[in-house]
Amino acid sequence: MLKVVYDTNVIVSAALKEESLPALLLSLGLEGKVRFFVSLALVQEYQKVLERPQFKLGHKEIMELMEKINQKAIMVNPTKELDILKADKSDNRILECALKAKVDFIITGNKKHFPYEEFEGSKIVTPREFISKIGKEIKVKG
Which pLDDT score, from 0 to 100, does residue 65 have? 98
C-alpha to C-alpha distance for 63 and 130, rounded to whole angstroms: 27
Q: Read off the pLDDT of residues 109-126 as tens digits, 9 standing for 90 and up.
A: 999 889 889 999 999 999
3-134 is classed in which CATH architecture? 3-Layer(aba) Sandwich (3.40)
Q: How confident is the model at residue 137 (pLDDT cuts 50, 70, 90)?
A: low
In the chain, % of residues over pLDDT 90: 85
For 48, list phi and psi in degrees, rounded to 5.
Answer: -60, -45
Q: Give the number of other CB atoms < 10 A from CB of residue 72.
A: 15
Half-sphere exposure of 63 (CA within 13 A, CB side): 3
Q: Where are the domains of the chain?
A: 3-134
Query: How much is the pTM?
Result: 0.93
User: Over the chain, what is the mean pLDDT?
Assistant: 93
Q: Read off the pLDDT of residues 79-96 as tens digits, 9 standing for 90 and up.
A: 989 999 887 888 999 999
C-alpha to C-alpha distance for 17 and 75, rounded to whole angstroms: 25
For 90, list phi and psi in degrees, rounded to 5.
Answer: -65, -20
Which pLDDT score, from 0 to 100, does residue 46 have? 97
